[in-house]
Structure 1
Amino acid sequence: MHQIKKIQLLFALIFIMGFTGFAQKQPFAFSSKKSRENLLIKLQDSIINKEAEAYLNFNKAINWNSYAWATSFLMDNSEQNFKVLKKALSNYRQLSKHDLKRVFESVYACFPNDFVLEMTDIAENETENASIFATSIHYLVQNKKEVEQLIKTKFIDNDSPVIQALRNELKPEYKSVSISDLIQLIRYNATKKTKFLYSIQHKNRDLPGKVFIQDENGFLVKENGKIVLVDQLARSATNLPMYITNGNTPPGLFKIESLAKSENVFIGPTLSFVTFLPFECDASVFYNNDKKDFLLEDYLQFFPKKLQSNLSVQQAFWAGKAGRGEIHFHGTTIDQEIYKKQIFYGQTPSMGCLCAKEIWDEEGNLKESDQQKIVNMWQKTKTENGYAYVLELDESDWKVFEKNINIVL
């Protein structure tokens, strides 16, 4: 997992010990108040302030891997970070492509509206790297800037999946699904003898989505006669585009391979859903048949005919082809208070996965777990594998979905 590797690198840099294999009934040291306080101090002092001071005052090179991760994690919109990013973007031609991508992570996470001029310059002049071009274009789009001419004249013969995904999201055929689309999909899967997890999300990923599950018999999992809905956040700390590494979770189809405990201390000991995007595993594994190649037409067979023409559900396919991977569905040990000024406060973002809320006491004991609720629903039957749909529901249908789900579904 790209984000896991970055976290492991960060831990090596700040000398934090990892904890694995704990049962949930035992304290999980990393989620304790003391560990959380120590982490914040080390992130701020040993990485952010140290790197920024050396870069701004002495023009020393920054370790962009650790700096971008730390500032994105904290969503650091300080004047100091602004100056660092301003300097980096103003001199972006001196950066490697790798380092510029890391700069983008902090820019998106911390200053989503402040670098339009700099990102315009990059978009206009980038001719080699599809990822850098797409990321800069997306930044302009989210700031309501005109990009049509750039899209028409640059990378026009490029068959990169990143460019395909970028072009898709700018077309009128790219739209959120309707409640009627969702109903049709559930009915479409009712006789498949397969388990399905549905993660229904907002286009604005600052807003948490909802998860529900359909068992092998086609029934939606209920408690006390009502469909169980559990909150889940599909927002990356970076808020990068979904087809970019460490970006938001792409909508579309995922293969659920198993449930397993993560060794990542930020995720914690609650079981995670280990999932595959298309191209992340063999086609035969993803499709549970003898397919040898990933073709869009085969992927689209998991959707009713009407939904097949909606470009939003294709984004997981293109994200997988672009190299994204290990987008798991997991819990969290991250302190919610870091994000008390954010719209999603109460939830914690990841680095591209889907994250369910977990509450820990000061000693590191798990007090509340939405992730465990999702796991419990999934484990009502013995089969571990299945499929997950991540879908962006049209905002006009959200009230109907939340208030009348037991009627409409």
Structure 2
Amino acid sequence: MQTVIFHVDCLYAQPLQQQIWSDYVLEDKRARLDKDIRENTVAKNFRLTIDGDNEHKFEDACLAISQFLFTGPQIVNGFNKMFAAYSWAEYDTRRALLEAVYAVYPNEYADSVALKIQTEIDPDLFALSAVYLLRHDPTVNNQNNLKIAMVEKFPGYDSIAVLVQLENYINNNDGSKHNRLPDLKSLFKHQRSTGRKVIYSFQRWNRDYPGLAIVQHANGEFARDKDGRLLVFQQLARSGSDLPYFLRNGSTPQGVYSLFGSAVSKTKWIGPTPNLQMGLPFEHPWHRYFHQPLAPRQDSLQLYKQLWPATWQKYDPIMEAWNAGKIGRSAIIAHGTTIDPAYFEGRPFYPLTPTMGCLCAREEWDVKTGRLQLSEQYALVNAYLSSPGKDGYLYVINLDNEQSPVSRAEIERLIK
């Protein structure tokens, strides 16, 4: 059983917050789910001797580990079995292993990954292995070794989208964190000219720290409460694995997402709070992404860049969403959560919960009644849907590399 897959469908009308209920947040249900995940999905499966008939159970265990960030001797034992079987395991099994190892053991498996990358011929798995080794050893020497290995294994790597992004990530990731952000006021002014309402999700480079979202009306004003106070909504843009933006299940890419209204998910872990439907470049037909008909052979890349003012168009991080979509990432939305935040107590993002790459807002539930008590997600969707104007876009932007959550005071200074 895959316990952590996120799926969204079914267009949905906004209910009243007090009507929203989920059995997944009930105290007894959470206890049973936790027991099942720990004892069956992970421990029982990892006690097996891995073979071609049961390797999917090891994959399920890894998916749970990546989501809930489990560690311990049972996890290590299971990972060791999977590395021993790596040469003959299916693609999905190998991928799940590398993602889970990246999520919970950032250094301990460097030797194992370094050994496997020598014979890896799949571009995606090579990229997964490379980012693990780069994080373990970010020196220039190791960067060069990884690039040399990539060129030797994939002579035509510059025609393979995921490897093009891997090279860019190796070359620029550390430096990008220190680049000066273009002027945000020029972006706010630019959006006034489009006549569409937008959401900005301001994040840190270190996605362990939550960000804040705000809504800009089609007339250029920002959404405020009845007392004139800016409305801000806490969001986590970190995936469980916190893989880079260009890899499946990585943290949310920076850039522009098209907004298509709200929906409700059938996935219990997301919960019944309405979510915002989003689309990456390449995920939908271009006329849908840009909310307008396109002329034949119209340049979609140029149109994407025109969503930004001229002062932003050469700022490379805005291309993360474009490149992630080109590689094939999809199904990134803004949603709530029924996941028990206790799994993440002590982490910088607590009590928010990571996902598989979406924007996840803070929600609190009554574990006795199953009713929604507090929801930044509900408030965000309500603010966006109640704003007059046509559907527009959501911008994800890393502000800086401060090691702290984005604060209201910061955002209020930015929009003055």
TM-score, structure 1 as length reference: 0.88
Counterpart selection for 2:291 from 285, 288, 310: 288
After superposition, give the CA deviation of every residue in 1:233-255 in whole Å (9 maximum; x if it has no partner).
Answer: 01111222221222211111100
Amino acid at match of 2:129: S
Corresponding residue for 1:355? 360
Query: How far is the alpha carbon of 1:64 from its aligned partner?
Result: 3.4
Amino acid at match of 1:147: Q
Corresponding residue for 1:14? none
Corresponding residue for 1:157? 156
Matches within 5 A, 1:75-114: 75-114=69-108
1:6 aligns with 2:9: no
CA contact (8 A) 2:113 2:129 kept: yes
Amino acid at match of 2:195: K
Deviates more, 1:66-75 or 1:312-321: 66-75
For 1:122 and 1:319, locate their aligned partners in 2 and report how far apart those are by CA, in whole Å: 25
Matches within 5 A, 1:4-403: 6=5, 24-26=17-19, 27-55=21-49, 61-126=55-120, 128-145=121-138, 146-154=142-150, 155-158=154-157, 159-172=159-172, 175-176=176-177, 178=180, 180-223=182-225, 224-291=227-294, 295-362=300-367, 363-383=369-389, 385-395=391-401, 402-403=408-409
Query: How far is the alpha carbon of 1:279 from its aligned partner?
Result: 1.0
Query: How far is the alpha carbon of 1:289 from its aligned partner?
Result: 2.5
Secondary structure of the residue that 1:54 maps to in structure 2?
coil
Report the CA distance shift for 1:288/1:396 in structure 2 as closer, same or farther (over 3 A): same
For 2:410 and 2:337, locate their aligned partners in 1 and report how far apart those are by CA, in whole Å: 30
Report the CA distance shift for 1:110/1:395 in structure 2 as closer, same or farther (over 3 A): closer
Deviates more, 1:158-167 or 1:249-258: 158-167
Amino acid at match of 2:147: I
CA contact (8 A) 1:135 1:241 kept: no
Report the CA distance shift for 1:303/1:169 in structure 2 as closer, same or farther (over 3 A): farther
For 2:65 and 2:50, locate their aligned partners in 1 and report how far apart those are by CA, in whole Å: 16
Query: How far is the alpha carbon of 1:125 from its aligned partner?
Result: 2.9
Amino acid at match of 2:242: N
For 1:5 and 1:383, locate their aligned partners in 2 and report how far apart those are by CA, in whole Å: 35
> RMSD over aligned Cα, in angstroms?
2.8
CA contact (8 A) 1:23 1:269 kept: no
For 2:15 and 2:365, locate their aligned partners in 1 and report how far apart those are by CA, in whole Å: 14
Query: How far is the alpha carbon of 1:129 from its aligned partner?
Result: 1.5
Aligned residues: 394
Secondary structure of the residue that 2:386 maps to in structure 1?
coil
CA contact (8 A) 1:193 1:216 kept: yes
Query: How far is the alpha carbon of 1:296 from its aligned partner?
Result: 2.8
Report the CA distance shift for 1:395/1:137 in structure 2 as closer, same or farther (over 3 A): same
- The share of aligned pairs that are identical, in percent, is 28
Report the CA distance shift for 1:7/1:258 in structure 2 as closer, same or farther (over 3 A): closer
What residue ranges of structure 2 are gaps of 5+ in the alignment?
A: 8-13
For 1:156 and 1:366, locate their aligned partners in 2 and report how far apart those are by CA, in whole Å: 54
What residue ranges of structure 1 are gaps of 5+ in the alignment?
A: 9-20
CA contact (8 A) 1:259 1:384 kept: no
CA contact (8 A) 1:6 1:65 kept: no
After superposition, give the CA deviation of every residue in 1:218-237 in whole Å (9 maximum; x if it has no partner).
Answer: 11212333322221001111
For 2:95 and 2:290, locate their aligned partners in 1 and report how far apart those are by CA, in whole Å: 33
